[in-house]
Amino acid sequence: EVQLVESGGGLVQPGGSLRLSCEASGFTFSSFWMHWVRQAPGKGLVWVSRINSYGGSTDYADSVKGRFTISRDNAKNTLYLQMNSLRGEDTAVYYCARETALTGSFFIDVWGKGTTVTVSS
């Protein structure tokens, strides 16, 4: 069964840091581009970042550029999101997601259940 399991969320003070992890199973992790998408309480989905299959190329939403870093360890089947200089507006459920293998397409076909990040003093 294809599965993505996020961890690492929690309560952090403004200006603090947190590292999210996402463990993948049931598929060849090293063959897929991966994403982070977040959802603030009661709001819609917002794309955060993506990384290519071997970790050599990354992209970020303007709102997190320079503060967040996406990375991966293919030997451990794990995706990461290092979040620094956190702000109240970063409070959200963070979803780990897999990009489709269809050539030329970027849509997400598998989602994790999410991990909650709360930034508050």
Partner 1 sequence: DIHMTQSPSTLSASIGDRVTITCRASQSITTWLAWYQQKPGGAPRLLIYKASTLQSGVPSRFSGSGSGTEFTLNISSLQPDDFATYYCQQYNSYLLTFGGGTKVEI
The one among 3, 101, 113, 120 contacting partner 1 by CB under 8 A: 113
Q: Taking the CA atoms of the chain, what radius of gyration do you get in angstroms?
A: 14
The one among 1, 41, 44, 89 contacting partner 1 by CB under 8 A: 44
Q: In one letter, which amino acid is 95? A: Y
Binding to partner 1 by CB under 8 A, coded x per residue (else -) over 52-91, reads -------x-x------------------------------
Q: Are 6 and 69 in contact (CB under 8 A)?
A: no
- The whole-angstrom separation of Cα 109 and Cα 70 is 19
**Choice between 78 and 112, CB closer to partner 1:** 112
For partner 1, which stretch binds (CB under 8 A), given 23-31, 73-81, 84-92, 94-102? 94-102
Terminal alpha carbon distance of the chain: 39
